[in-house]
A and B are shown apart, each in its own frame.
Chain A
Amino acid sequence: MRIQIDGRDVEFEPGETILEVARREGLEIPTLCHDPRLDPAGACRTCLVEVDGWRRMPPSCATKAQDGMVVRTRTERVGRHQRALLALYLADHVQGADACETGAPCELHAMAAKVGAPTDWTPLEPVRVGRDDPNPYIEFRADRCIACARCTRYCAEVEAVTAISLVGRGSKTTIGTVDASSLLDTSCELCGGCIDTCPTGAMTEKRPLLQLAPPERQLEKVRTTCNYCGVGCQLDLNVDPATKKIVKITSPPVGTPPNDGNLCVKGRFAYEFVEHPDRLTTPLVRGEDGALREASWDEALDRAARGLMGVKERYGADALGFVSSSRCTMEENYLVQKLSRAAFGTNNCHQCAAT
């Protein structure tokens, strides 16, 4: 089966949408409400294309490719539509890209600039309401929302808890919860997937905002592996180059294994421990009086080595036990077993997870 897109003859698999075929071919069609993890909604109308013989322009995200179809994505009519549509969205949005981008980059502003949408249309009276929510992580900024419903569809389709949904009608359509309750009092699992999928930064992390962290564009991203459960989600630690501290955690692009752009509450938010004042910052040794006191690395390592070797001398190597950790790295586990086996001569080496 074949379709023609912008003059290119392309093969496709039955069931593929025009958008999927076009993106595979490297053709750019702008989208706002589209997320490959979600069922197509065709809600934002940004991805309309012309199809020969069709009077109306269909949304490419929700229209299946059909054999022999001739699709045009860059016509004058499509361009005129995109410019007018995005100008309307901008009028219903925080004015100015700089003012908007206090969190994640705003796809709307970027796209409007790309298609040359006018930015001087009279701003609409902001009528969309947000809500005060004492949950510690997720902030909803109604002035940035364009009601594309990516967050609510993610919540229903991917996380499958339906804690948030669209409420209200027309220009008052907003994102709400049952009885306008805090997310803490709903089925919300605080996974933050709404933040990840939001194209405009309307759903965003609360703590970086409170700490006046720089916008995401200015942060250094370090790709690493989550340190909680065994799924091994890939995540990006976002470091503020000025303070050298982790400001937030974001997920890598959709399609990155194993987590496909998803994270859970622990992966995305439970990094407060890294900077916690309770962290151990210096070696400690127990003194004669039974109390712990600070020590140098030299002193602590000497004490540790002498103590362990003393036990071996007095009772034999099998009087030692080495408890390694499934929270530490492969390399560290390798070294603990090597320490146990090669330096002390015992196989008494294990960790809590061998079932």
Chain B
Amino acid sequence: MAGLVTTFGAGAMTNSIREIRDADFLFVIGSNTSEAHPIIAMEMKQALHRGATMVVADPRAIWMTNLAEKHLRLNPGTDVWLLNAMAHVIIEEGLTDEAFIRDNTEGFEAVKETVARYTPEEAESVTGVPAEDIRWTARRYATTERAGIYYTLGITEHSHGTDNVYALSNLVLMTGHLGKPSAGMNPLRGQNNVQGANDAGASPIFLPGYQRVDDPEARAKYEEAWGVPLSPEPGLNLNEMMKKVGGQVKGLFVMGEDIVISEPNVSRLEAGLNNVDFVVVQDLFLNETCRFADVILPAACFAEKEGTFTNSERRVQRVRKAVEPPGQARADWEILVDLAARCGADWGYTSAAEVYDELARFAPKFAGISHARIDEGIGLQWPCPDDEHPGTVYLHEGGVLRGRGAFQAVEFRPPIEMPDPEYPLVLSTGRTLYHYNAATQTRRGLGANAKQPAAFIEIHRRDARARGIESGEMIEVSTRRGVVRCRAIVSRQVRPGSIWMPLHFPDARANLLTTDAGDPITGTAEYKVCAAEVKKLDAATLDESEREPARFRGSYYAERGPV
């Protein structure tokens, strides 16, 4: 989000989802698209069906790599090397769009100077991707008119996540693949309303609509509207906040997040939570964080309330009530209105639509959007500045929103924690098709349990054999921060030296293992790289059910055994 605001002036997908099927070249990096965004994967598959070419850059073999022309299997955390080397090739071979660079960008010289040092040959030794593949990808990307970049958390969940986004932006700007249909830069948002939560100002530095809290003009507008003085000091981002829980942070209000599952290095967070004065949790279920809560407020789910979500392509869409919430549960917005009233703030909203109207009134990007307009047709894509505006299908048409696209020269920084003799494996974490994040919802479903009944870790045959591990067996995974037990899947999906684990399971919390080292700008933690070791568990320590090998059905990458 912050990366793209800096380089282009808006942190969102520049294209629409519907445009993906018309792309001719797809560069998918750090996105397990068919599992995390299945419907976007379907659009990509349609493009391929039409004859498009796809390159997937990912340390793991995923379903999309089966469909790709090339799989750039880079070492975890070496993205900047790969991307700078691609920029190197584009400049060296004269494939840049000089007119676009001259008219629409600034700072190209610095990037040119930096990437001159990132030769594909040296990149091969760092990333593990053959130099020829880097050259081929760079050429195809630069010379295809409708070329789009698609990325997800494999790019951002690093201590150098913002650098990765900068390096990708540089490729876009030097080739002029922006402001056109099916050509652009597309972060695929992980949650239904990632875009909307940021748009609405749930951010320590931005008021609604990306207006900075340290901008006196923006603040004055809200001070007048809300009738109270506002703090000009940027707040703590989530990563800092979690590190300061129990220290500076003595009281927490947590809505709809299970922080002791989803945040990194949770044993430290839990120690902090034992030292806070007061915690309120507002959720659908008695989640794990409720163990630390003083007050728990039961909330309605999406099918039980009115509102809007904003998707990855900036489309504001309606959430509509179909059924009543269970028992006394209430919509989050209703609870917030009542809570505010007891804290001395009488807001007086009687519907979600009124809340949206206030949001739109002071944020020009959304000013033309309302519940009523969405109800007349389909969702509207921002920017949508007035009631007549039809919404914006793709961004930066006829000029970069920021004015000039900002090149950002970035140097490679290795991940914070690299493997060593004690912890020789690289652990990455992620999401699977059948489960969703903290899995408070999907664990309560039949399909997920039929396909993935237990927590697991993927390990390469070579690493498994060296440790005497068979597929389906219980193993122990440890890092400097914690230990969890789960099943091993001996899999071709990971490469030797790497292991991969989904974050969904409360009985084997991947985030006991992960590091909370964060990106210096966004605070996003390095969920994708930390040093780990696995070992076979002594049969004597297992209970009856653990001795039986677990069955993960239809796992097409599994090498052998009962999985």
Known interface pairs A188-B554, A280-B283. Does A320 touch B249 (Cβ–Cβ under 8 Å)?
A: yes
Which residues of A have CB within 8 Å of B122?
none
> Is the pair A354, B323 in contact by a Cβ cutoff of 8 Å?
no
Contact in complex: A305, B299 (CB < 8 Å): no
CB pair B323–A244 under 8 Å, yes or no, is yes
**Known contacts A136-B447, A282-B327, A326-B192; A189/B298 CB under 8 A:** no
Check: B16 CB closer than 8 A to any chain A CB: yes
Interface status of A68 (Cβ within 8 A of chain B): no
Nearest CB of chain B from residue A143's CB, rounded to whole Å: 25
A239 touching B322, Cβ below 8 Å: yes
Asked, given contacts A233-B39, A274-B301, A326-B193, whether A341 binds B230 with beta carbons under 8 Å apart, the answer is: yes
Residues of A within 8 A of B321 (CB): 222
Asked if residues B327 and A189 are in contact (CB atoms below 8 Å), the reply is: no
Is there contact, CB below 8 Å, between A257 and B17? Answer: yes
Q: Please name the residue on chain A nearest to B46 by beta carbon.
A: A158
B450 adjacent to A230 (CB under 8 Å): no
A186 an interface residue at 8 Å Cβ cutoff? yes
B296, A333: Cβ atoms under 8 Å?
no
In the assembled complex, the Cα of A182 lies from the Cα of B523 at a distance in Å of 44
Query: A309 to chain B: which residues have CB within 8 Å?
Result: 343
Residues on B with beta carbons closer than 8 Å to the beta carbon of A273: 284-285, 301, 440-442, 444-445
Q: Complex Cα distance A233/B378, Å?
A: 12
A345 adjacent to B231 (CB under 8 Å): yes
Report how far A276 CA is from B378 CA in the complex, Å: 31
Residues of the B chain whose Cβ atoms lie less than 8 Å from the Cβ of A292: 290, 293, 296
Asked if B352 is at the interface of the complex by the 8 Å CB criterion, the answer is yes
- Could you tell me if B251 and A320 are in contact, using CB atoms closer than 8 angstroms? yes
- The answer on a CB contact under 8 Å between A328 and B332 is yes
Please, how many angstroms separate the alpha-carbon atoms of A318 and B303 in the complex?
A: 35
Chain B residues near A324 (CB, 8 Å)?
Answer: 197, 202, 255-257
Task: Check A337–B202 contact: CB distance below 8 A.
Answer: yes
Contact A331 B230, beta carbon cutoff 8 Å:
no
Can you list, as one digit per residue, whether each of B466-480 has a CB less than 8 Å from chain A (1) or not (0)? Answer: 000000000000000
B42 with A159: CB separation less than 8 A: yes
Q: Is the CB of A354 within 8 A of B238?
A: yes
Report chain B residues within 8 Å CB of A352: 191, 238, 257, 262-263
Q: How many residues of A contact B (CB 8 A)?
A: 121
Q: Is the CB of A270 within 8 A of B193?
A: no
Q: How far is the CA of A282 from the CA of B188 in the complex (A)?
A: 36
Contacts of A119 in B (CB 8 A): none
Residue of A nearest to B48 (CB): A160
Contact of B356 among A307, A330, A346 (CB under 8 A): A330
| Residues from 305 to 340 in B contacting A, C-beta threshold 8 Å | 305, 307-313, 315-324, 326-333, 335-340
- Min Cβ gap B168→A in Å is 13
A231 in contact with B202 (CB, 8 Å): no
| Docked complex Cα distance between A314 and B237 (Å) | 22
Hey, what's the 0/1 contact readout for A336-355 against B, CB within 8 Å counting as 1? 11111111111111111111
Please name all residues of chain A whose beta carbon is closer than 8 Å to the beta carbon of B342 when the two chains form the complex.
301-302, 304-305
Of chain A, the residue at the smallest CB distance from B351 is: A331
Task: Give CA–CA (A278, B288) in the complex, Å.
Answer: 13
Smallest CB–CB gap between B79 and chain A, Å?
Answer: 14
Check B328 against A264 for contact (C-beta < 8 Å): no
Give complex CA distance A223, B36 in Å.
23
Closest A residue by C-beta to B43: A260
Query: Which residues between 301 and 339 of chain A lie within 8 Å of chain B, taking CB atoms?
Result: 301-305, 307-312, 314-315, 317-339
Using CB atoms and an 8 Å cutoff, list the residues of chain A in contact with chain B: 134-137, 157-161, 182-191, 220, 222-234, 237, 239, 244-246, 256-260, 262-267, 269-276, 278-286, 292, 297, 300-305, 307-312, 314-315, 317-355
The 10 closest A-B pairs by CB, nearest first: A281-B327, A232-B311, A230-B189, A329-B307, A347-B235, A325-B256, A311-B251, A355-B156, A264-B38, A280-B298
